[in-house]
Amino acid sequence: MEVRTTRFLISTFPIFHGVSKGSRSARVRSPVFSIEVSCGGGAYRCHQPTDTMARPPAPSVPTIEAGGAGHGRIPGMRSIIWDFGGTLFDTYPDLDRALCRTVFADDAPEHLLEVGRLTRVSTGHAVRELSRRFGVAEQELRQAQADVKDAWMSEPAPLMEGACEVMHAVHTAGGLNLVATHRDRASAEQLLQARGVHVDDMVCAPDGFPRKPDPTMHRELLRRHGLEPEGVGAVGDRPADAQAATGAGVRPFLLLSPGIELRADGAEPIQSLCEILTWLGRPQQDSNLQPTD
């Protein structure tokens, strides 16, 4: 069989989910094919038999002890509800820098930290507070935000480090990668397409759903896919994300930013997305994804 090699920026979802139909398969052999991907700043190679082109049946996952002493046990968490910007995609550096330069005309570390503490509540909150504190027109700040989104059309924000590994582990376990976001659908789909990312479903607040911390978007995803809350985790970077997850009865993970203190009652604080692998019953060093030379 002819061997063809293509690089693209996402993990091995065409292997496990029929929607992608294997059209992005990168190095194909029979009876085993491999896909070579670049994700989170590193390249990975995954080998799977050809009969895994369809999603594997959901295995029986035992109860997992995660997080060490004092943490509860959860039964077979397989699926993840992702927040979008700041969680699945690493959007904060560009956004914080743009707002910082608009207000302070620089991106000094202390100024970036001040802006970051506000954007971790919400972008709207940051715009209002920066305008109030420093006398910058809200319209000027919103234009800076719009300019960032325009720049992403040609150079999209990268996937968050560890997202590739977690999404791969979810599909390996027979679970679903779902998204609940405040972002408009066109913007979200453009970024997904630009980075070659496949998700199983996405609910966007502008489509008629209340914004987080209201749990309606999470509940809608559970309803659509017949998922039990105890088998689902939700990861976000703001307390409102964790509150929405808790309201829907799913396990909340709060992705922390260095130097910015965030708290949400009942949420599992994580420094890296790869920490979620433990809750999925996988080691943090995924054996199926190994760096290539």
pLDDT in tens, 14-57: 333 333 333 322 322 233 323 333 343 333 333 333 332 233 33
Query: Is residue 116 located within the same domain as residue 105?
Result: yes
Structural domain includes residue 260: yes
Structure tokens at 244: 């929405």
Render pLDDT for 160-195 as a digit per residue (tens, 0 to 9): 999 999 999 999 999 999 999 999 999 999 999 999
Amino acid at site 37: V
- CA distance to 98, 123, 129, 200, per residue, from 146 (Å): 10, 12, 18, 28
Segments forming the whole domain that contains residue 118: 92-154
Using a 10 angstrom Cβ sphere, with 0-12 exposed, 13-18 middle and 19 or more buried, the burial of residue 100 is: buried
Render pLDDT for 252-289 as a digit per residue (tens, 0 to 9): 999 999 989 988 889 999 999 999 999 998 877 543 44
**pLDDT band (50, 70, 90) for residue 233:** very high
Query: Is residue 143 located within the same domain as residue 211?
Result: no
Residue in this structure with the two tokens 């594997």, named with its chain if needed:
56
Q: 216-238 in b/e burial notation, b at 16+ Cβ within 10 A?
A: bbbbbbbeeeebeeebbbbbbbb
Structural domain includes residue 139: yes
The CATH number of the domain holding residue 183 is 3.40.50.1000
Structural domain includes residue 39: no
- CA distance to 1, 3, 34, 51, 56, per residue, from 30 (Å): 7, 10, 10, 10, 19
Whole-prediction pTM value? 0.74
User: Listing from the earlier edge strand, what are the strands of the sheet with 268-270?
Assistant: 201-204, 177-181, 79-82, 232-236, 251-255, 268-270
Structure confidence at residue 63 (pLDDT)? 31
Query: Is residue 67 located within the same domain as residue 181?
Result: yes
Greatest Cα pair distance, the chain, in angstroms, is: 65
Query: Is residue 84 located within the same domain as residue 205?
Result: yes
What mean pLDDT do residues 204-228 have? 98
* Gap between the Cα atoms of 155 and 158, Å rounded: 9
Identify the residue with better confidence: 191 or 64.
191
Residue in this structure with the two tokens 């570390």, named with its chain if needed:
109
Query: Is residue 99 located within the same domain as residue 164?
Result: no
- Tell me how many domains the chain contains: 2
Structural domain includes residue 215: yes
